[in-house]
Structure 1
Amino acid sequence: MLQTIIEAIVAYAATNIDDLLVSLLFFAQAKSRKEDWQIVFGKYLGIALLTVISILGAYGLSFLPAKALAWLGLLPAWLGIKELRDKAENKEAAPLGQRNWTAAVALVTLANGGDNVGVYIPLFAGHSVQELLLVSLVFLLLTGIWAWLGQKIARWPRLQAMILGRQKLVTAWLYFSLSAYIVLKAYC
Structure 2
Amino acid sequence: MDLGIIGQAAGLFAVTNIDDILILALFFARGAGHPGSTRRIVLGQYLGFTAILAVAVAAAFGATFLPESAVPYLGLLPLALGLKAARQAWKSHRNGDGDQEDTGAEPGGGPGAVEVAAVTFANGGDNIGVYVPVFATAGIGGMTAYAVVFLALVVVWCFAGRFFATRPVVARALARWGHVLLPLVLIGIGLLILVEGGAFGL
TM-score (norm 1): 0.89
| Residue number among 50, 62, 65 corresponding to 2:64 in the alignment | 62
Match of 2:25 in 1: 24
Please tell me whether the aligned partners of residues 28 and 164 of structure 1 are also in contact (alpha carbons under 8 angstroms): yes
Larger CA deviation: 54-63 vs 161-170: 161-170
Superposed displacement of residue 28, structure 1: 0.9
The whole-number CA distance in structure 1 between the counterparts of 2:197 and 2:131 is 15
Pairwise CA RMSD of aligned residues?
A: 2.2
Name the CA shift for 1:177/1:30 in 2 (closer, same or farther; >3 Å). Answer: same
Match of 1:10 in 2: 11
Q: Residue 168 in 1 paired to residue 169 in 2?
A: no
One-letter code aligned to 1:124 = F
Match of 1:85 in 2: 87
Pairing 1:121-136 to 2, within 5 Å after superposition: 121-136=132-147
Larger CA deviation: 91-100 vs 29-38: 91-100
Superposed displacement of residue 42, structure 1: 0.8
Please tell me whether the aligned partners of residues 165 and 174 of structure 2 are also in contact (alpha carbons under 8 angstroms): no
Paired-residue identity, %: 33
1:135-180: per-residue Cα shift (whole Å, max 9, x none)? Answer: 1110111111111000000112222222221343222212212222
Figure out how many residues of one structure are paired with residues of the other and give that number: 188
1:107-130: per-residue Cα shift (whole Å, max 9, x none)? Answer: 101001122101100000012222
Q: Residue 45 in 1 paired to residue 47 in 2?
A: yes
Superposed displacement of residue 62, structure 1: 1.4
1:65-111: per-residue Cα shift (whole Å, max 9, x none)? Answer: 34522311122221222122223333642687155521111110100
Please tell me whether the aligned partners of residues 66 and 115 of structure 1 are also in contact (alpha carbons under 8 angstroms): no
Pairing 1:132-147 to 2, within 5 Å after superposition: 132-147=143-158
Please tell me whether the aligned partners of residues 35 and 108 of structure 2 are also in contact (alpha carbons under 8 angstroms): no
Match of 1:103 in 2: 114
The whole-number CA distance in structure 2 between the counterparts of 1:54 and 1:166 is 36
Structure 1 residue runs without a partner (length 5+): none
Name the CA shift for 1:185/1:6 in 2 (closer, same or farther; >3 Å). Answer: farther
Superposed displacement of residue 18, structure 1: 1.1
Q: Aligned to 1:127, what secondary structure does the other structure show?
A: helix
Please tell me whether the aligned partners of residues 114 and 186 of structure 1 are also in contact (alpha carbons under 8 angstroms): no
